[in-house]
């Protein structure tokens, strides 16, 4: 008899689609109005080009899929949807800080937060435009 129990998926540990959708709802509301992110005119324009409800739907789909849920993401790849936005490393840090604050607000345990940040971090190279460091002098 196998006494080993299967660990619940991250999706299950996060509480499933309803809990994920609630976090995404708050998170998108915050990033859409973050002055540090909207200082980038390309990001600001993108934030106003699509209805917020549709954006929240796609992000919820994506988070559910990558955490082991039954949903399938139907949007563009991260590279396709971000390559034209010229997102900087400092904007990424602001985005991550907002994400962390929302996860804390919803009392997502640290272990699950670490897994989520590993997933989000894996998309950084598709989102952030690295700029060469200029040397003065």
Q: What is the CATH number of the domain that holds 19?
A: 1.10.490.10
Q: Is residue 63 part of a domain?
A: yes
CA distance 3 to 81: 45
Domain that residue 56 falls in? 13-127
pLDDT digits (tens, 9 = 90+) for 35-73: 999 999 999 999 989 899 999 999 999 999 999 999 999
Q: Is residue 46 part of a domain?
A: yes
Number of domains making up the chain: 1
pLDDT at residue 1 greater than cutoff 60: no
Q: Is residue 136 part of a domain?
A: no
Q: Mutual orientation of helices 89-105 and 16-33 as an angle, nearest 10°?
A: 130
Q: Is residue 7 part of a domain?
A: no
Q: Determine if residue 84 is labeled as part of a ligand binding site.
A: no
pTM exceeds 0.85 for this model: yes
């Amino acid at each position: 008899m196998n006494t080993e129990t299967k660990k619940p998926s991250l999706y299950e540990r996060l509480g499933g689609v309803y809990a994920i959708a609630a976090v995404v709802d708050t998170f998108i509301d915050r990033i859409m109005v973050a002055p540090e992110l909207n200082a980038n005119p390309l990001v600001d324009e993108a934030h106003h080009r699509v209805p917020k409800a549709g954006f929240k739907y796609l992000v919820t789909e994506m988070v559910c899929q990558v955490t082991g849920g039954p949903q399938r993401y139907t949007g563009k790849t991260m590279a396709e949807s971000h390559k034209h936005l010229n997102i900087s490393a400092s904007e990424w840090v602001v985005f991550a800080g907002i994400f962390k604050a929302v996860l804390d607000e919803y009392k997502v345990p640290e272990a699950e937060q670490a897994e989520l940040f590993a997933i989000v971090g894996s998309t950084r190279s598709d989102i952030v435009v690295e700029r060469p460091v200029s040397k003065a002098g």
